[in-house]
Amino acid sequence: MKNNKKTYTGIFRDGGAGSFAKRRFRARRKNLMERENKLMVITGVPYGPEGKTVWSYAYCATYQEPSMMYLTGINQSEVVLLLDPGSKESDEILFVAEKDLNLEFWNGIRFGVGDEKSVREVQKVTGIQDVRDIRDLKKVVEERFRKQKKKQLGTFWVEGIRNGRKVEIKTDHNWDFKSKLSGWLRSWKTKGAELVNIMKNHFDLRLPLDDYDVDSTQKASDVTGSAFKTTLRNFRELRNEYQVQGFIEGQMLMNSPYGLSFPSIVASGRNATVLHYMKNDDEFSRNELVLIDFGVRWMTMHADISRTIPASGKFNPLQKMLYEIVLKAQKAVQGKAKAGVTINELNDCCWESINSDLETVFRKAGGRCKLKYESRPHGVSHLMGEQEHDGDPFRNYLSQPMQPGWLISNEPGLYGAFRIKLNGKTYDEEIGIRIEDNLLITKTGCRNMSRKIPKSVAEIEKLMAGK
């Protein structure tokens, strides 16, 4: 036998930490226990990319619920984690479904329980020693809950404030799990029993990236950047949006086993004025701009990059003028980003720069335009991490001072119909431009993780000319 070693990389993401991985995940669980100091139960995804249907071959390399991924590294469905700070029996229990050899025969290795060898396998790979059958979850949670003095049970679901009112995400597995726990609590008839959301403490711990995650983010950005450069060098061979998508995604997937951060947006001409354009099925003409929003994962981290390029390989004077306006705003945001500043402040900086340049550069040169939005098309930044869009989806973090280790996007854009006469020639186009980098916030400034991905007019034109 050439190689009889089992590989767990598919179901256990070690985050690049190798032999330190188990201790790293344990430290994350301990930190959460310290902050919350109450019994907690957290669920992973209830089913994997194989889905709910009998015949589904959908595949997605990384699919775990990010809170579970962050705490355990386990990339497998039907996993629940119980944390019981201070418990003398065991302060962490992992619940897993029964080992299913037939399922392994079809789909590959999978953690399970039911016999000693299988349990030892889970212990050895994950570092969690108390491993139990998921069918015992309710019984064990009740036992542990009744031993608590606090009568509180913590779990993770997504909530926030929108327009001054509390809002909750009720469509995902976290909500389903929370509802199940509420039912259990009611049935136990404990006076004053309370279900508590651990979301805030969890995000506070999870969002500042550690050195391993920073390295993975850099790697994701590097792979994404190489794919972009190869795409530019070969761009003249590509005739429509889906060919660009196929080419660039192929380049990314050939260099990372962790999958794409999200399905790419490839939007030519006026299609780029649709912010989340997904069709990617249009032909483009060579005088149009093509906006590409793309990125690959490395381990559990992401790149989320946007570039806008001329299909011909050369920006026309209108395209160049507008592109430079967006690029200038992007540089201004990068110059301002550092710990203590809020994303709201970055937004002001970004959109004031673009709106003022539209007056002082574009209109002053005789340009006329009709924007697709009032004064700001979207936020310039979102948090990134275990998810491509991380943190609470209601973006309550926009007004919080940024912390060292936060990873944010920097993505100014300009979308509308533009008309100008330059050097005796009239240009009249519907255009969408977005330029997006990923910034790691530090105490004194920020590190642009995607600094090596070309974005100046000169760099892009040079690569497209095959140089």
437 is a site residue for Mn ion (CB under 5 A): no
Q: How far apart are CA 439 and CA 451, in angstroms?
A: 9
Tokens of 54: 């009998």
Closest CB 275 distance from Mn ion, rounded Å = 10
Shortest approach of Mn ion to residue 436 CB, angstroms?
6
Residues 390-413, buried b or exposed e (16+ Cβ, 10 A)? bbbebbebbeeebeebbbbbbbbb
| Helix/strand/coil (H/E/C) assignment for every residue in 287-315 | CCEEEEEECEEECCEECCEEEEEECCCCC
Find the part of the chain contacting Mn ion (CB under 5 A) among 150-158, 161-169, 260-268, 298-306: 298-306
Q: How far is the CB of 409 from Mn ion (least distance, A)?
A: 4
**Closest to Mn ion by CB, 353 or 409:** 409
Q: Answer yes or no: are the C-beta atoms of 217 and 303 closer than 8 Å.
A: yes
Which CB atom, from 126 or from 280, has the smaller least distance to Mn ion?
Answer: 280
Nearer to Mn ion, 389 or 421 (CB): 389
**Is residue 304 within the footprint of Mn ion (CB under 5 A)?**
yes
Nearest distance, CB of residue 388 and Mn ion, angstroms: 7
Nearer to Mn ion, 304 or 357 (CB): 304
Cα torsion 454, 313, 265, 238: sign: negative
Nearer to Mn ion by Cβ, of 295 and 367: the residue is 295
Window contacting Mn ion (CB under 5 A); options: 97-105, 216-224, 264-272, 409-417 = 409-417
The interface region with Mn ion, picked from 150-158, 300-308, 350-358, 424-432 by CB under 5 A, is 300-308
Residue from the set 216, 300, 409, 450 that interacts with Mn ion by CB under 5 A: 409
* Residue carrying structure tokens 């009740």: 142
Q: Which residue, 347 or 409, has its beta carbon nearer to Mn ion?
A: 409
Q: Please tell me the distance from the alpha carbon of residue 195 to that of residue 152, in angstroms, as a whole number.
A: 6
- When asked if residue 230 is in the footprint of Mn ion (CB under 5 A), the reply is no
How many angstroms separate the CA atoms of 114 and 107, rounded?
Answer: 19
CB of 330 to Mn ion, least distance (A): 13
CB of 332 to Mn ion, least distance (A): 18
Interacting stretch for Mn ion, rule CB under 5 A, among 76-84, 184-192, 404-412, 419-427? 404-412
Chain mean position to CA 235: 27
Nearest-approach distance from CB 31 to Mn ion, in angstroms: 28
The CA distance from 273 to 315, in Å, is 18
Q: Report the candidate in 306, 358, 288, 373 with the shortest Cα–Cα distance to residue 328.
A: 358
Question: What is the Rg, in whole angstroms, of the alpha carbon atoms belonging to the chain?
Answer: 25
* Nearer to Mn ion (CB atom), residue 201 or residue 409: 409
| 242: CB partners within 8 A, 6+ apart | 266, 280, 281
Query: Which CB, 99 or 434, lies closer to Mn ion?
Result: 434
Tokens 């309550």 sit on residue: 396
Query: What's the distance, CA 339 to chain centroid?
Result: 21
Q: Using the minimum distance from each CB to Mn ion, give the nearer residue, 174 or 409.
A: 409
Supply the minimum distance, in Å, between the C-beta of residue 444 and Mn ion: 24
> Which lies closer to Mn ion via its Cβ, residue 81 or residue 435?
435
Q: Which stretch binds Mn ion (CB under 5 A): 32-40, 41-49, 354-362, 402-410?
A: 402-410
Residue keyed to tokens 């985050």: 15
Instruction: Report in angstroms how near the CB of residue 245 gets to Mn ion at its nearest.
Output: 17
Scanning 233-241, 297-305, 307-315, 332-340 for contacts with Mn ion by CB under 5 A, the matching segment is 297-305
Pairing status of strand 92-96 against strand 130-133: parallel
Instruction: Compute the least distance from the CB of residue 293 to Mn ion, in Å.
Output: 7
How many chain residues bind Mn ion (CB under 5 A)?
Answer: 2
**Residue 14 or 304 having the CB closest to Mn ion:** 304
Give min distance, CB of 97 to Mn ion, in A: 35
Helix, strand or coil for residue 79? Answer: strand
Contact indicator for 286, 312 with CB cutoff of 8 Å: yes
Kindly write down the DSSP assignment for every residue of 366-424, as one continuous string. T-EEEESSSS-SS-S--EESSSSS-S-TT-GGGGSPP-TT-EEEE--EEEEEEEEEETT
Nearest to 240 by CA among 286, 272, 287, 281: 281
Name the residue nearer to Mn ion (CB basis): 156 or 415: 415
User: How far apart (Å, rounded) are the C-alpha atoms in residues 87 and 92?
Assistant: 9
- CB 72 → Mn ion: shortest distance, Å? 27
Contacting positions for Mn ion (CB under 5 A): 304, 409
